[in-house]
Amino acid sequence: MDQSYFRHLSYLINIKNEVAQEHWPDFAKNDFFQPVAYYTKDNTFVLNPNEHIRKITDHQEIAAFDKVPVINLSEKYTDTTNFRFSLSFTSDSTALHYNENVLYCQSFELTKKFLQDDLVDLQDWSIMVIHELFHGYQRSMPEHWAYLKTIDIPGGPDQFLGSYHKDLEWYRESVHKENELLKAIWIDGADLIQNLTEYDSLRNGRIDKIKKEFGVNIRDAEDYEVNVEGQARYFESLCKRYLAENTPSTKSLNKEDQEHITDMFKGYDVFKGKELYDIYNDRYYYQIGYNICMIFEKYNFDYKQYINNEEQNIYHYLEKLKSLQQ
């Protein structure tokens, strides 16, 4: 088996673990916290396969990747026509992700086929994969997994939450104001208590108005998405800051790969990272959650060892921070 298929994975796992060891140690304990279906132009592999995947697929056992078991799925699983980047689970016993979270992701070459000019750098792709790996880490905790099963998000967050942001001008205006209040705390040094009090008022008013006008309570779903996406996006920020000052090992890469490392994050300034903190699409909960995590960083508030395995709601920790500052 040509292990060069995994050279890019080796590169990004090194980045993930270097950053995690310093900033989120639990995330460095495993390379993968779930099975990973890895699509390339020629093959589809599953790293860390479970017994269900082995049972339902035609596959070939191949050499391990950094001590992680790997199987090569039969040709019928090869897919170069669909964009696949998600962490999924289902009750459908015919699917790979039956009753367990499975990360679906694509090689750099295949991802670039779909994103084209929006993806030019191997480090940028690495951060995309690391974001999904972080979700796998979150869901690997029994407490978090059990909590997720209690959350009802019909049609997924893009439909359940994003559609309100897309269709309702007042909703968009409120979310924008809420996000600006959070940003101002860690970027501009605005007063924590004053801004969070105003933020809570706007957010509660928006959620109550949706419940009154549509008969739908979005609070639990929004709380969950703000929590999980905020953490994953925050880890993205940590990776970008790491790459701004460090040159990770390229020993797994070949000469051609070097051309796809443009050092795009050299000199990265977290205070100018608008791609992480400004709302630019209907997935507003990513930015809201990220800005909350940046507030925690500003105040050196310890939550990482508790969130996902104790209290699951990020707003619980925001209230704790407020109480400590009053």
**Structural domain boundaries of the chain?**
3-155+218-325
Helix orientation angle between 219-245 and 7-23, rounded to the nearest 10 degrees: 100
Q: How many other CB atoms are there within 10 angstroms of residue 139's CB atom? A: 21
Q: Give the pLDDT confidence score for residue 1 in this predicted structure.
A: 38
Between CA 269 and CA 168 the distance in angstroms is: 33
**How far is residue 45's CA from residue 32's CA, in Å, rounded to a whole number?**
14
Tens of pLDDT along the chain (326 residues)?
Answer: 345 679 999 999 999 999 999 999 999 999 999 999 999 999 999 999 999 999 999 999 998 998 899 999 999 999 999 999 999 999 999 999 999 999 999 999 999 999 998 998 999 999 999 999 999 999 999 999 999 999 999 999 999 999 999 999 999 999 999 999 999 999 999 999 999 999 999 999 999 999 999 999 999 999 999 999 999 999 999 999 999 999 999 988 988 898 999 999 999 999 999 999 999 999 999 999 999 999 999 999 999 989 988 888 999 999 999 999 98
| pLDDT at residue number 311 | 87
For residues 95 and 46, give the distance between their C-alpha atoms in angstroms, rounded to a whole number.
13
Task: Compute the distance between CA of residue 193 and CA of residue 185 in angstroms, rounded to an integer.
Answer: 9
pLDDT of res. 47? 96
Q: Strand runs (DSSP E) across 57-189, as ranges?
A: 59-65, 68-73, 86-88, 102-106
Calculate the CA dihedral of residues 316, 210, 198, 299 and round it to 10 degrees.
30
Start-end of H helices in 49-116 = 51-56, 108-115
- Cα 185 versus chain centre, distance: 23
Provide the pLDDT for residue 66.
85
pLDDT value at position 3? 55
**Spatial distance between the Cα atoms of 144 and 150, rounded to a whole number of angstroms:** 10
Count of other CB atoms within 10 angstroms of residue 13:
22
Whether 225 and 157 have beta carbons less than 8 Å apart is answered as yes
In degrees to the nearest 10, what's the CA dihedral of 125, 31, 35, 71? 90
